[in-house]
Amino acid sequence: MKVPAAALVALLLMATCSPSQAHLDGVPTTCCFSYHQRPVPWSLIASVYTTSSSCTKPGVILVTKKKRELCADPQVPWVQARLKNFQSLKN
């Protein structure tokens, strides 16, 4: 009985930390409803992008090299540093 409860808790945690896809006027938009709290190491991040202004919460999506998308708070210093790093790489 303990294993299914633990699996359910793990599944719920993954769902709350994942970005969600919404379709507004037929255009898919990724929005964040909760934020990843711990800093993600530079070496694990493949790309970074910000969420749409139509989302209720602002967010930065960190895409890992394993194609996992994590929502992060754009006001947190470590997220700003990751975003700035990827913007400087584009230039």
Say which residues have a Cβ less than 8 Å from residue 64's Cβ, sequence separation at least 6.
40, 44, 45, 46, 70
Quote the pLDDT of residue 86: 80
Quote the pLDDT of residue 54: 87
Q: Summarize pLDDT for 1-49 with one digit per residue, the tens.
A: 565 655 555 544 455 555 554 444 444 468 999 999 999 998 999 999 9
The b/e string for 58-68 (b: 16+ C-beta within 10 A; e otherwise) is ebbbbbeeeee
This prediction's pTM: 0.65
Q: Which CATH class is domain 30-90?
A: mainly beta
Quote the pLDDT of residue 6: 56
Of 1-10, 47-56, 69-78, the poorest mean pLDDT is in 1-10
Domain ranges (residues) in the chain = 30-90
pLDDT tops 70 at residue 73: yes
The answer to whether 27 touches 39, Cβ cutoff 8 Å, is: no
Q: How far apart are CA 14 and CA 66, in angstroms?
A: 15
Quote the pLDDT of residue 83: 87
Among candidates 29, 83, 72, which has minimal Cα distance to 54?
29
